[in-house]
Every structure is written in structure tokens, then in C-alpha cells.
Structure 1
Amino acid sequence: MPAPLPHEHLPSAPALVVQSDDITDGDRLNDLHVFNDWGMTGQNLSPALRWSGAPDGTRSYAVTCFDPDAPTGSGFWHWVLFDIPSSVTELPTGAGTGPEFKGLPQGAVHARNDYNTKEYGGAAPPPGDPHRYVFTVHALSVDSLGVDSDTSPAAVGFNITANTLARGHIIAHYGV
């Protein structure tokens, strides 16, 4: 039985519509979004995402990517981006990829992912069954989560959950 998805443990919230020109719900990630290390040869670019349907009172957004199937006992955080201004409703391909962060909105903050970098880190599962990559956009009731880029993904996630007005996701998979 596959590991539960992260949103299955969270309080219910209205749905945001999340779309992408780069990834499709239920499909395989292409090499554009695969890590370029740990034996992988992808381009390690964050996917383009856009969202709509945020409720009144949305003051900021957060974007996360989580692999619940990682053999860690606690999953693997690939991307934790927060304090995205409420006026922003899309990120271009590579916005979460350093060192340029092209298209990353001013004020947005990357927390350290489980690769120990403050940016998007692509898929890099061990050989075996494909892993699921849950790209989630969270509409938040605060302008800022009040945490910084050195805050752990779990603590950022706690603050995201405490302030979520709505969320939506795309789940893609990748295996070697």
C-alpha cells in the first residue's frame, strides 16, 4: 500500500485550481524536473505552475513539492516556497531554480529542502517503484508566515497548515 499523501492528513480546505504547462496530474515527470546529481541527469528546473480560485482573504501563497514514497520514514521535501504575494498567481518554469531564480516574485522565501538547498530539487528516487511528487499550492490568510529560510520544512508546513484558506495540487510520478 502506498504511503498516504500529505494532504490526506491535513484539515480539509476548499480547493484551488492548479495547472501547469510542464506537468500533468497522474503523468510521469520529464527530465526537465529531475535532479541533476545523485546519479540523475535531469535539468532540475521547477515546473511552471498557475492557480486560480483563491478565496477572499487570501494574503499570500506557498508552494510545496513532497515525495511521500521516499524511503526515509518521513517522506522527502523537494520544494518549500512561501510568502508569495497574493497578487502572484503563477510561477514560470525555473522560478524555483537557483542561482538565478528567474521569475521568482519579490518577497518569496525558499526554506531548505531535504537536499539541504534553498531551492527546488528535482526527482531522484532510488531504483524500484515510481515515487509520487505532490506539487501543492496553498492560499494563506497571512502576508508572511513569520519564519525564515532556515526553518525546517516540517515547521514551515505547520505554519502553512495553520494559515491555509484553500489548497490544490498536481501529483506526478517518476521512477528509475
Structure 2
Amino acid sequence: MSLERPVSPDPYVLLPAAPAFTVTSADVSDGQPLGADQVADAGNTSPQLSWEGAPEGTKSYTVTCFDPDAPTPSGFWHWVLVDIPADVTSLDTGAAAGQLPGQAFHCRNDGGAKGFMGAAPPPGDQVHRYFFVVHAVQEETLGVDSDASPAVVSFNLAFKTAGRAILHGTYRH
């Protein structure tokens, strides 16, 4: 069976517009291949992220990693970290596996775990894009619990996002 298919669109251009701010990483270069640390069968480690310039009135952040190129109709969520306090503007490499800031918590990823899951495209598939997004949230809590699916988190973000900072890496197995 062939996995040949069209490249999925950038999922964030399909959402309601939100002001942009800046996210950078010591581990991920925008548009470039991910390092081994961010690959599931190698390091499986969440990347360092730093952000600045969030809109006035930001009360918390949500960080996600989404692969729109997975061979599913709904893509694949690799990381969903919710309710990061507004005064936090960075996460260290491997933060997903350690002590989270404030009342922040993980929701389950599409692999079923609460934490970060590295890149894991099928062997021989097209290049996959991994969108690391910091969502500035207009409320101190997104209003979900750790059992929320990534779709429910995304639905809530559609109504509570004050801004988005986007960085994406790529990977091909």
C-alpha cells in the first residue's frame, strides 16, 4: 500500500487569525530537520523554547506540537502542555519530562501519553512538518483537564487565543 498523498496545508492558516509573536529554540531551527533528540526512537526529548512579544493581556500559555503530515485525516498531536503561567517565557530542553512551571500540566498526545512524543513518521513517507506553537491565552486557565483530547484543547484555543508564535521543524524517516 502506498502512502502517497498531497501535502497537507499549514493548519494554522485555517484557524481564526491571531497576532503573531516570536518563538525561538536552541534545539529546533525553523524549517530545518529536527535533531535526534526530538525523534521518538532516538532522544524523544522536548525541545528548548523561548518566546517574547506576546500580546498585552496574555494570562497563560499553551504549548503544542502538531504534525499535519501524518497519514490520518486529523494529523498527529505530539505535545499538549496547558496552563503555563504568563510570567514564564521559556522551557528548557527536556522540560516535558520534568517539573512543570506553576499549575501547568500535560494533556494526552495522540500516542496516548501525557508528555512529549518525538517525531515518528512511517519509514519512506514524505517529509513531515512538526509545528511547535506557543499559544498566548486570554485566561489564566484554558478550562480543560489532563484527560482532554488535543482536539478539545484546540477547540478551546480557538476562542481563547490572544496570539500565536510558530516554529516548525521537519523530519523524514
What TM-score do you get using the length of structure 1 for normalisation?
0.92
Structure 1 segment 63-142 matched on structure 2, within 5 A? 63-97=63-97, 101-102=98-99, 104-127=100-123, 128-142=125-139
Deviation of the 1:2 alpha carbon: 1.1
Q: Distance in 1 between matches of 2:122 and 2:144?
A: 32
Per-residue CA deviation, residues 81-127 of structure 1 (Å, 9 max, x unaligned), is 11000000000000112xxx14x212101100001000000000002
**SS in structure 2 at match of 1:96:** helix
1:29 aligns with 2:34: yes
Q: Distance in 2 between matches of 1:110 and 1:158?
A: 16
Corresponding residue for residue 3 of structure 2: none
Gaps of 5+ in 2: 1-5
Corresponding residue for residue 10 of structure 1: 15
Q: Distance in 2 between matches of 1:170 and 1:112?
A: 21
Q: Percent identity?
A: 53
**SS in structure 2 at match of 1:136:** strand
Deviation of the 1:46 alpha carbon: 0.2
1:170 aligns with 2:154: no
Deviation of the 1:9 alpha carbon: 1.2
Corresponding residue for residue 146 of structure 1: 143
What TM-score do you get using the length of structure 2 for normalisation?
0.94
The alignment of Structure 1 onto Structure 2 pairs a total of residues equal to 167
Q: Distance in 1 between matches of 2:11 and 2:146?
A: 21
Q: Give, as a single letter, the amino acid of the residue that structure 1 aligns with 2:110.
A: D
Q: Distance in 1 between matches of 2:147 and 2:166?
A: 25
Q: Distance in 1 between matches of 2:111 and 2:102?
A: 24
Gaps of 5+ in 1: none
Q: Distance in 2 between matches of 1:166 and 1:145?
A: 14
Q: Give, as a single letter, the amino acid of the residue that structure 2 aligns with 1:53.
A: G
**SS in structure 1 at match of 2:12:** helix
Corresponding residue for residue 52 of structure 1: 52
